Each structure stands twice: as C-alpha cells, then as structure tokens.
Amino acid sequence: MATATLTIDLDAIAANWRALDRMTGAGVQTAAVVKADAYGLGVTRVARALAGAGARRFFVAAAEEGAAVRQALGPGPQIAVLSGHMSGDTEMIHDLDLTPMLNSLDQITRHLESLPGHPFGVQLDTGMNRLGVEMLEWQAVAPILVEAGPELLMSHLACADEPDHPLNEAQLRAFHEMTDGTGLPRSLAATGGILLGSRYHFDLTRPGVGLYGGRPYDAAIPVVTLSLPVIQTREVEPGESVGYGCAWVAERPSVIATVAAGYADGLPRTLSGKARLWDGDIPCPLVGRVSMDMITVDITDLPETPRELDIIGPNQGVDALADVAGTIGYELLTALGARYTRRYQERPA
C-alpha cells in the first residue's frame, strides 16, 4: 500500500473524556468539542465513541459541521454551534435541531425573529476579543434575553494553557460580573480551563484537544499513530545529495528510505532536516526536505529495511512533532491529510 495509515484509538478518546469528566464535580456536565472533523480524526466515528462514553452535548464551529454530527448521533444529543446563527443557516438550525451560541445583537435578533422558541445559548466576550457579546451590549439586552431562556451562557479563555497568566483571573471576574444572578447554566472552560481548577468549571466544560491526546492535558492517553510506508530504499555514497535543493549531503555510505507522505498530507515543510521517524523504538533522522508526497529518511543504522516508519506514535506524540515543526498539536491534528487510510481501534461494545 502506498498511502500512510492513520490509526485512531477511539477507546483512548473515550477514556480521555471520562478522565476529564472526573476532574470536575458531580454537578458539572462535560461536553465534547468535535469541530474541524473532530480535530481531523473523523467526526462520525469520534462523535459516536464520545456518545458511547457518556457525552450528551457536542460543540462544532459551524452549522454545516453540525449536520455530520447529527447524522452520526441521531436525535437527542445537543449540538451547539460556536459561530452562532449566521444568515442563511436558519433552515439548517431548525431542521437538524442545532443550538446556536449567539455572538452578537444581530445574531440575537435574527434568531429570536426567525426561530422563536428554538433553543439557543449566548457567547459572551470576557476579554479574548474574538467572538461574543460584549459587556455593554450584554447589559443592554440581558434582561430581555434571560427571559427568553438561553440554554447556556458561555465564554472562552484566551490563555488557559498558561495557568499564571493574569488574563485568566480577569476573564473569570468578567464572566461572573456578566452572569451572576441570572440563574442560567454557564460554561467557561475548555481543556485548559478544566486544568485551572474548579473555580473555572461552572456548570459545563467544553474540552476539545485533551480528548485527542493533546497539550495542555499532559495526562492524556495518546490517540493517534501515523505510520508511513517505505516505498523505496537506495544506497547513497558520501558526497551525494538527497532531495530538492540538495539540502542534505551524505557524509558516510548511507541507506535512504523514501516514505509516502509529505506536506500535502499535513506534514509541515518546516520538519525538513529536523524530525525523526521511528522503527519501533529506534529513531531515524528525516534527511533533506519534506516534499509534497514524500519524505526521505536515513535508515543506515537499522538492521533491516522496515515496511513502515512512524512519524507520530509512542516515541513521538503529536505535540512533540508539533514542537519540531514550530507549531502546536492543534494545527498538526487538524491538518492531517485526506490521503491517509484511517483505521479506528475500538474494543467491541
């Protein structure tokens, strides 16, 4: 096979959800964020695994993404849309029973006029300045809106992965100021917020990356293995170069393996000359440049040619590889390519 295999451990995702759920009090519900095709891992299988673990509320970025989740889960579970109620989405929100998190006075007006009585939440801006109703607007509309019965008042932390960042406390204070006394269910914490402790938990948490094994949830069970098949090997003499731009030149007689996956598959070109791939527990340096469909690896020190090499696996997790690439685990996960054969591991129910 000439395409790489992305193995996704659904049991690990379920276990991570349960573990994050246990980190909050009994009265705190744990939702699951499955936007961007469940962070690149395939929303149909991932959402079902999370529902199996006990998740009853799911968050997506856009109404279109909600369609796939509704199809996967059927009626019942709540599917919340973080971008709110955009013009043109009314029919979808109604037909698929999505719950928009309204972000502005425009969205609030649109929702209440086009779908009176249809469930909604409100996203408040407590300092991230990205999405949400701002303090002054909120003070103006809160009396009417609280009356209309939002399912959730939520906000999002900008620096939750830095526990000592002063914006965390500032956003917490602003969130209290905007929501205390409403008596409505509240949510402030994503993965990072859960780790900040119970003052950040309120009634509902919204973990995403932690479910998929990523930072800042360091105790997560790894979810992803990415194995790249060796297409060809060749012997290279000292002084010969490998790949585009002659970026790597052999200093000793070397064996080079060409493996199938490149930047078109979401492996950043910034990994060129820096990353390592693994044959079991033996690291092999990536040599030369990452090209569109291929990577070259120095396997001189291996006893024999492997059938495949892991670029994400037990010895090098998503965040470790992201560090080498100069990016974050979120970006690496959501860039995982369409060409990979996706294999799901799940013990039979």
Given a contact cutoff of 8 angstroms between Cβ atoms, the answer to whether 111 and 85 are in contact is yes
Q: How far apart are CA 158 and CA 315, in angstroms?
A: 30
Pattern 167-206, ligand PLP, x by CB under 6 A: -----------------------xxx-------------x
List 110, 111, 156, 215, residue binding ligand PLP (CB under 6 A): 156
CB 259 within 8 A of CB 229: yes
Choose the catalytic residue: 39, 200, 217, 244: 244
Q: Which is nearer to ligand PLP, 84 or 210 (CB)?
A: 210
- In whole angstroms, how close is the CB of 103 to ligand PLP at the nearest point? 10
**How far is the C-alpha of 237 from the C-alpha of 253, rounded, in Å?**
5
Length of the chain: 349
Least Å distance, CB 137 to ligand PLP, is: 18
Phi, psi (rounded to 5 degrees) for 154: -135, 160
State which of residues 100, 127, 150, 210 lies at the interface with ligand PLP (CB under 6 A).
210
Out of 66, 100, 207, 288, the residue judged to bind ligand PLP by CB under 6 A: 207
Decide if residue 208 touches ligand PLP (CB under 6 A): yes
Q: Does the annotation count 35 as an active-site position?
A: yes
69-106 core/surface letters (b: 16 or more CB in 10 A; e: else): bbebbeeebbbbbbbbbbeebbebbeebbbbbbbbbee
Report the Cα 302 to chain-centroid distance in Å.
34
Q: Which of 35, 200, 212, 330 is catalytic?
A: 35
Restricting to residues 10-49, which ones interact with ligand PLP according to CB under 6 A? 33, 35
Interatomic CA distance for residues 208 and 196, integer angstroms: 15
Residues 80-119 that bind ligand PLP (CB under 6 A): 82
Which residues participate in catalysis according to the annotation? Answer: 35, 244
The residues that touch ligand PLP, with contacts defined as CB under 6 A, are: 33, 35, 82, 156, 190-192, 206-210
